[in-house]
């Protein structure tokens, strides 16, 4: 029995030693990706301390739209207008923050908090930094397009306490 207990502790120790560097690298990777992405020049910023996204670069917008359709539309609807998950092109990201950096971090790290209304898988290991940035760019471009078309109110002119937008059934 003692050898079984010791084997179990040795196995746990090995797993811990194997997992710790991976988790550390993932944390450093996400942190450094936020730094790298923050260096991208662009036109849209949610606030002056936020990273910029190139909403006027249609190549990036189209890449983001295609990646969104492939990875996100099942839950968030076509063009991010909402489905099972909330609208992502309405300019309201209440769950984890409304800045471009917070949206990037949410896509990369996911949401694992049912108290917030649900969960979302992390895409930081399955999408590149550029792909995540292109999705954020697409969402901000679609938000600007919808505001200009009068489809949604400008969130900059609304109160912070408004609720997430879900599609009407």
Residue 58 pLDDT > 70, yes or no? yes
DSSP 46: S
Specify the number of domains making up the chain: 1
User: Confidence class of residue 13 from pLDDT cuts 50, 70 and 90?
Assistant: very low
- Please give the average per-residue pLDDT across 9-31, as a whole number: 47
* 65 found inside a domain: yes
Check pLDDT > 70 for residue 87.
yes
Q: Within a domain: residue 165? A: no
Per-residue pLDDT at 38 exceeds 90:
no
Look up tokens 């190549």; give the residue.
Answer: 59
Q: Is residue 81 pLDDT above 80, yes or no?
A: yes
Mean pLDDT of 86-113: 84
- Stretch among 57-61, 77-81, 110-114, 122-126 having the lowest mean pLDDT: 110-114
In a domain, 18, yes or no: yes
| Domain with 47 in it | 2-157
Q: Which residues pair with 113 in a beta bridge?
A: 118
On whether residue 26 sits in a domain, the answer given is yes
- The residues, ordered by sequence, that sit 6+ positions from 7 with a Cβ below 8 Å of its Cβ are none
Domain annotation covers residue 164: no
Using one digit for the tens of pLDDT, what is the confidence trace for 100-159? 999 999 999 988 877 766 788 889 999 999 999 999 999 999 999 999 999 988 877 765
Q: Is residue 65 predicted with pLDDT exceeding 50?
A: yes
The model carries a pTM of 0.65
Q: Label residue 27 by pLDDT band (50, 70, 90).
A: low
CB 68 within 8 A of CB 107: no
Q: Residue 77 domain-assigned?
A: yes
CA dist 142 and 63 (Å) reads 13
Q: Which residue has the higher pLDDT, 136 or 30?
A: 136
Two tokens, residue 85: 């998950």
Q: State yes or no: pLDDT of 45 exceeds 90.
A: no
Q: What number of residues does the chain have?
A: 169
**Residue reference for tokens 């919808």:** 146
**Within a domain: residue 168?**
no
CATH code at position 84: 1.10.760.10
Closest CA to 103 of 133, 70, 61: 133
The pair of structure tokens assigned to 122 is 């992390």
Please report whether residue 162 resides in a domain.
no
* Residue 135 contacts residue 65 (beta carbons within 8 Å): no
């Amino acid at each position: 029995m003692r050898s079984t207990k010791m084997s179990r502790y040795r196995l746990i120790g090995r797993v811990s030693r194997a997992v710790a560097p991976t988790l550390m690298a993932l944390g450093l990777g996400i942190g450094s990706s936020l730094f790298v992405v923050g260096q991208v020049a662009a036109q849209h910023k949610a606030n002056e301390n936020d990273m910029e996204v190139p909403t006027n670069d249609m190549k990036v917008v189209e890449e983001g739209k295609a990646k969104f359709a492939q990875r996100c539309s099942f839950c968030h609807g076509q063009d991010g207008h909402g489905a099972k998950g909330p609208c992502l092109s309405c300019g309201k990201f209440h769950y984890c923050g409304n800045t471009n950096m917070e949206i990037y971090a949410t896509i990369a790290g996911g949401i694992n908090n049912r108290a917030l209304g649900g969960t979302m898988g992390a895409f930081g290991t399955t999408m590149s930094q550029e792909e995540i940035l292109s999705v954020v760019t697409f969402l901000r471009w679609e938000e600007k397009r919808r505001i200009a078309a009068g489809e949604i109110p400008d969130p900059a002119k609304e109160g912070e306490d408004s609720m997430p937008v879900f599609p009407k059934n």
